[in-house]
């Protein structure tokens, strides 16, 4: 499952980067589908994925031998946070409603998990916490970077070849903001 996670992550980053530079057919659909698959992987299989248990061994009797219940519960909670973070990164990139708010909540949750994992890694030096910290760092940096981008900056990057569209969208955003306040 680790390879699946890496492949999905690289594909998402590649497609998002290409979408910021070029407009290509079905970009939004591809990015959305890959993000949803990665999110479901974290949500449904984090107890095994984060504990380095292979998919084919999940149902085997001795697969979780030597792994505490607390660590499995922590992996489930972390998977839920990673899943939410991936979804809200998608929301922000696609300029869907509540992308910023959800991303901010996810970032706070990730910060808490990073602090706990860092303390556990410093005290135990276990490889589980090292791989968890790497994963949390990569997704956390991505989430914070996306959070820092305004919707207008995303709009300008995605549609730089169509200035009229940018002006119209900015006007709609302005009108919507004025109506809601």
The confidence score (pLDDT) of residue 31 equals 96
- pLDDT at residue 176 greater than cutoff 80: no
CB atoms within 10 A of CB 170: 14
**Higher-confidence residue: 26 or 178?**
26
pLDDT in tens, 4-21: 999 999 999 999 999 988
- pLDDT at residue 177 greater than cutoff 80: no
The confidence score (pLDDT) of residue 157 equals 86
Backbone dihedral region of 68: left (phi > 0), alpha (psi from -120 to 50 degrees) or beta? beta
pTM: 0.88
The confidence score (pLDDT) of residue 69 equals 87
Q: Pinpoint the alpha helices (H) of the chain.
A: 2-21, 27-49, 69-94, 99-124, 127-148, 151-158, 163-180
pLDDT in tens, 95-136: 898 999 999 999 999 999 999 999 999 999 888 899 999 999
pLDDT in tens, 129-171: 999 999 999 999 999 999 999 888 888 888 888 888 888 888 8
The confidence score (pLDDT) of residue 101 equals 95
With 0-12 / 13-18 / 19 or more C-beta atoms within 10 angstroms meaning exposed / middle / buried, residue 125 is exposed
| Distance in angstroms (rounded) separating the CA atoms of residues 111 and 106 | 9
What the block records as the tokens of 16 is 């998002």
| Distance in angstroms (rounded) separating the CA atoms of residues 149 and 92 | 9
- pLDDT at residue 1 greater than cutoff 60: no
């Amino acid at each position: 499952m680790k390879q699946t996670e890496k492949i999905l992550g690289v594909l998402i980053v590649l497609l998002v980067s290409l979408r910021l530079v070029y407009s290509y057919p079905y970009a939004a659909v591809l990015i959305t589908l890959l993000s949803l698959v990665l999110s479901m992987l974290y949500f449904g299989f984090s107890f095994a994925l984060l504990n380095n248990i292979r998919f084919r061994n999940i149902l085997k009797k001795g697969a979780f031998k030597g792994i505490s219940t607390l660590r499995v519960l922590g992996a489930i909670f972390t998977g839920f946070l990673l899943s939410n973070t991936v979804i809200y990164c998608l929301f922000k990139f696609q300029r869907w409603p509540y992308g910023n708010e959800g991303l901010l909540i996810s970032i706070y949750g990730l910060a808490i998990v990073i602090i706990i994992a860092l303390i556990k890694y410093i005290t135990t030096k276990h490889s589980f916490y090292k791989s968890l910290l790497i994963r949390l760092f990569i997704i956390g940096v991505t989430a914070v970077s996306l959070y820092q981008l305004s919707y207008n900056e995303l709009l300008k990057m995605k549609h730089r070849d169509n200035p009229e569209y940018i002006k119209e969208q900015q006007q709609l955003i302005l009108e919507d903001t004025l109506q809601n306040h």
